[in-house]
Structure formats: C-alpha cells, structure tokens
Chain A
Amino acid sequence: AQSVTQLGSHVSVSEGALVLLRCNYSSSVPPYLFWYVQYPNQGLQLLLKYTSAATLVKGINGFEAEFKKSETSFHLTKPSAHMSDAAEYFCAVSSGNTPLVFGKGTRLSVIA
C-alpha cells in the first residue's frame, strides 16, 4: 500500500521568503508523485508531477520539487513567496496503475 505524509498542517512564511512544504511517501514500487494546490472554495489543480524522468521537477507559479529516493521525499519549494501563494497544498502518490493517494494537506499562509 502507498501513503503520503505531509509534515506540518500549517506553514506560515513572510512575503519574499523561501517556501518549503514537506512530503514523504511510502511505496513498495517506484512511485509517481504529485503536488496539487487548492485555493479557497475551488477544486484542486496540478502544480507539478514526477513520473520517473528528471528528479528535479519544475511546475507552475515558480514552484519546484525534487524527488529523493534515498530520503523517500518530494518536498515542494519556491524561492520567494507571494501573497497569491496562500492556499492549501496536497502531495499525492501513485504507482502501477492505481489512482492517487493524497496527503492531509498543508495550509500555507503568507504574511505581508
């Protein structure tokens, strides 16, 4: 069975500061990993995904994530936070031909 653990249900950063959202996965087979973002009162939308190509994946809105097999991690980063980045972020894992398993989410607050 596969699972995802997102460390920190709430992260708060200052505008312009580094954003780091942590995700660790568990999978018995090579995983595919995703980050989705959910803005208030909206559905989720894909930020980026890792599907066994380059381990450093670049996504929309300046976000990127690095797949580290040795650490079973797929942390999401952005060099400089913007007020518009305030949202809930979900890490998800899948493998084989199974659908996504989502983490509990991390709410990002950006302070002016």
Chain B
Amino acid sequence: DARVTQTPRHKVTEMGQEVTMRCQPILGHNTVFWYRQTMMQGLELLAYFRNRAPLDDSGMPKDRFSAEMPDATLATLKIQPSEPRDSAVYFCASGLGAEASTDTQYFGPGTRLTVL
C-alpha cells in the first residue's frame, strides 16, 4: 500500500531555530505539494513542484521559508528562523501530475510543528 511519508511527525522548537520537514512522495508520482493547516486559516497551499521543478511558491513567506526537491524521492520544507506564528500542521501531498487541476492528491500524515 503506497503512502506518502513525512518526518518528523511532531516537532517542538524554540523561536529562532531552524526547522526542516521531510516528505517522501509515492514512488512514480511527479507532483509534490506542501500545505499548512491552522484553525484560523484552514488549509493553505505553500508550494508545489512538478518533476522536481518548483511551479508555484507564492504561498510561502519568502524570507524564512524554502522548499526543495533534492531528488525524486525527497521533498524538504525549511523554516529559518522559525516564529511562534509558524505553529501549524504541515502536510505534503503527491500526485501523478498528469493535470494539476484534476489529479488526485495523496496526503501524508502531516508534521505538527510547535514553535515556543
């Protein structure tokens, strides 16, 4: 049963520290999405990639967030420096990428980030 995996599942850190979240998309999927979920804002798209190339990262605060795909099996989301307002659940999702608009997205279990 192919699944998207995310590590760590939980992260507690102090303000100012660097945070790195990792995602392994389903093998063969070539589209990867990063979302942030909070009670106030709901589910927000931060960035997405196709074939490892960033297509849109307009949802990310550019000064502190960065997203990369070093290879087809790993996507990373970094926050440096972290702030309390970054506390949220971060989801990674992958898809076959035939069409971004009709593609089914498969979500990982999320990383729950708490910044003190």
Contact = CB atoms under 8 A, between A and B. Distances in A.
Chain A complexes with chain B = yes
Interface of A: 32, 36, 41-46, 49, 51, 90, 94-105
B100 A99 contact: yes
B104 A97 contact: no
From B4, B43, B109, name the one whose CB has the most chain A CB atoms within 10 angstroms. Answer: B43
A98 B43 contact: no
Interface residues of B, number: 20
A88 to B, nearest CB: 10
Interface in B67-116: 91, 93, 99-102, 104-110
Contacts of B108: 43
Contact of B102 (A41, A43, A94, A103): A94
Contacts of A101: 45
Contact of B104 (A41, A43, A49): A49
B33 A99 contact: yes
Interface of B: 4, 33, 42-43, 45, 48, 56, 91, 93, 99-102, 104-110
B41 to A, nearest CB: 9
Nearest to A46: B104
A96 B109 CA distance: 28
Contact of B42 (A51, A96, A98, A103): A103
Nearest to B104: A46
Contacts of B101: 32, 94-100
5 pairs of A and B residues whose beta carbons are closest in the complex: A43-B107, A94-B101, A102-B43, A104-B42, A44-B107
Given A94-B100, A99-B48, A105 B105 contact: no
B43 A105 contact: yes
22 contacts: A32-B101, A42-B109, A43-B91, A43-B93, A43-B107, A44-B43, A44-B93, A49-B102, A51-B102, A90-B43, A94-B100, A95-B101, A97-B101, A98-B100, A99-B33, A99-B48, A99-B56, A99-B100, A100-B101, A103-B42, A104-B42, A105-B42
